[in-house]
Chains A and B, each alone.
Chain A
Amino acid sequence: MTVTAKESGQEDTSGPGDAYVPSARRLERERYKRTRARRATAIAALSTLVTAAVLYLVVVGAPGWPRTKETFFDGRYAREALPKVLEGLWLNVRLLLVCGAAVLVLGMLIAVARTLRGPVFFPLRVLAAAYTDFFRGLPLIINLMIVVLGVPALRLQGVTVDPVLLGGTALTLTYSAYVAEVFRAGIESVHPSQRAAARSLGLSNRQALRYVVLPQAVRRQVPPLLNDLVSLQKDTGLVSIGGAIDAVRAADIIVGRSLNYTPYIVAGLVFVALTIPMTRFTDWVTARMDRQRAQGGTT
């Protein structure tokens, strides 16, 4: 970068003869920096190429590659699978939206219940702690089996037997336990002085939590929350235990008929493609929140 006259502390007399001329030493330094940058780029490119070439040769040179290729990368099956997988994916997306919202609300309620002070709330704290312990420990697949296949067996009047609704309930139970812990960690990471300051300004305990502690807690916990949401997005597929056809099960059906694995690859890529925009979106939200805080906080 070059430095303007103003920055280098010289008088800006705006005469044509007095234009700033960078010194020879400065030019030399800049040239040197440029060559270093070029060299670094060249080395990075070369090492990337070598790595890619080695991986390519190892995979394609493997004796089983032709067989693997037709079993996992068959264009005909990819074309057949894509529409069916996307149709199934719609179920995953709907489950993600509904369960995601429910999980955030429920997780927040449980986290707040666990951090309430005062002896009167003791049973609530114990219940919330027991809930998180139990549902974090219970394997999701078993939770789903119990809810999706067990609840209808009770033959309760007015309780749904729809496998998607039941599966969504099971997902919400497990994931709200995870998310509650994330929120709780966030709440406890806010320095006690914040709460004390809020209380000394005359805010009630509830107001301090609502306006001072929670906003900071949630902002800090965006990355782990996103982790849990991406994880939830992939686990929505497990509701297929109850017979619903999601993206993975749609692939499964074609695989079972044809004994060709390409549909699994298609389903996998579709899920990855769904995760990437989600990650970018949350990065953008976090950046925006940071900017707002920087503008509003310091002056």
Chain B
Amino acid sequence: MHLAPRVLRRAVAGATVALLATAVGCAPQPEDDAAAKPSGSTADACARGALATETAGKLTVATDQPAYEPWFKDDKPSNGEGFESAVAYAVAEQLGYDKSAVVWQSVPFNKAFAPGAKTFDFDINQVSISDERKQAVDFSSGYYDVRQAVIALKDSKAAKAKSLADLKGLKLGAQVGTTSLGYIEDVVKPTAQPAVYAKNDQAKSALKNGQVDAIVVDLPTAFYITAAEVTDARIVGQFENRGGTPEQFGLVLDKGSALTPCVTAAVDTLRKNGTLAKIEQQWLSDAVDAPVLK
């Protein structure tokens, strides 16, 4: 065996010991689970303004950055303007937290459902509820029934599409991780592979540049894009709901969060008393209707 110089061997041995010490030193952090938080009946656990939140007395709400219109306004979730900002504050109000007790946090979509301790109480980021996703996170009940729409440049042949069959031969684009992409893959089933973008911004510029014939986004976003961002595009039409059930956006909570029942109850109350409808009327009233593509 070739013997390394003594110094080197000592260094290696030392490093090994250090590594092992570090490994042992990363003592498992006990997760502060529901047991550490005040528990009790739902009514008790949802005591107004005294939930077991991340920061006591505050409600930490997360969303992605940039926050897009019409969901948020001016990329400032804390201004209470835009549909989701308004919904978040209405939910907070319902839970007994006034405007000053709401803290916003920017969390990318991908990080919002990573396992491990969450840094927020709930995330509001146009996340559609699905059974598959419920394996990874908790959802509140739905706060918005969303439909998907197709946008194309006004002077393109895609703009003349009247049915799903007319879309089949086109190059379609959508953002990754969205149900919009699911609609392309499962409903349209185009012959060309769809273009998949990290952000809607890139999908928009690809549409402008003619790299795709049409893009699929949710209806309110489609109205905003065609009205304000890509004005020479128009909404070709909207899809029917997949599987006959309306697709809904829900608030995202940590899996097994103690807050889920409270937040769900709050959203249900807001739906019943017409607050959600009012907020929708205020911020998404343009998203009236578009022809349905069958």
Chain A residues at the B interface, C-beta cutoff of 8 Å:
36-37, 40, 47, 50-51, 54-55, 58, 61-64, 67-68, 70-71, 149, 152-153, 155, 161-163, 240-245, 249, 252-253, 255-261
8 Å CB contact of B209 from A54, A61, A161: A161
Check A40–B1 contact: CB distance below 8 A: yes
The bracket for how many chain B residues form the interface is 35 or more
Q: Quick one: given A67-B115, A240-B196, A259-B135, are A61 and B28 in contact (CB under 8 Å)?
A: yes
Check A252–B177 contact: CB distance below 8 A: yes
| Residues of chain B with a CB closer than 8 A to A162's CB | 211
Check B26–A256 contact: CB distance below 8 A: no
Q: Quick one: given A37-B1, A63-B29, A260-B135, are A243 and B196 in contact (CB under 8 Å)?
A: yes
Check B30–A256 contact: CB distance below 8 A: no
Shortest 7 CB-CB contacts between residues of A and residues of B: A256-B177, A243-B195, A152-B209, A259-B136, A259-B113, A67-B115, A71-B115
Q: At the interface with chain A, which of B16-24, B61-69, B70-78?
A: B16-24
8 Å CB contact of A249 from B16, B26, B196, B211: B196
The residue in chain A whose Cβ has the minimal distance to the Cβ of B182 is: A257
Tell me, yes or no, whether B231 is within 8 Å of chain A by CB: no
What CA separation (Å) do A262 and B198 show in the bound complex?
Answer: 19
8 Å CB contact of B23 from A55, A67, A149, A253: A55
Tell me, yes or no, whether B110 is within 8 Å of chain A by CB: yes
Interface string of B160-202 (1 = CB under 8 A from A): 0000000000000100111001100000000001011110001
The residue in chain B whose Cβ has the minimal distance to the Cβ of A62 is: B28
Question: Assuming A240-B198, A245-B193, what are 11 further A-B pairs, CB within 8 angstroms?
Answer: A50-B20, A54-B23, A67-B115, A67-B255, A241-B197, A256-B181, A257-B133, A258-B133, A259-B132, A259-B133, A259-B136
Check A245–B196 contact: CB distance below 8 A: yes
Tell me, yes or no, whether B212 is within 8 Å of chain A by CB: yes
Check A243–B16 contact: CB distance below 8 A: no
Chain B residues at the A interface, C-beta cutoff of 8 Å:
1, 16, 19-20, 23-24, 26, 28-31, 109-110, 113-116, 130, 132-133, 135-137, 173, 176-178, 181-182, 193, 195-198, 202-203, 205-206, 208-212, 255
Check A253–B211 contact: CB distance below 8 A: no
Check B31–A64 contact: CB distance below 8 A: yes
8 Å CB contact of A253 from B19, B181, B202: B181
| Residues of chain A with a CB closer than 8 A to B178's CB | 256
What CA separation (Å) do A64 and B33 show in the bound complex?
Answer: 11
What CA separation (Å) do A255 and B177 show in the bound complex?
Answer: 7
Check A257–B177 contact: CB distance below 8 A: yes
Check A54–B208 contact: CB distance below 8 A: no
Check A252–B176 contact: CB distance below 8 A: yes
What CA separation (Å) do A257 and B183 show in the bound complex?
Answer: 12
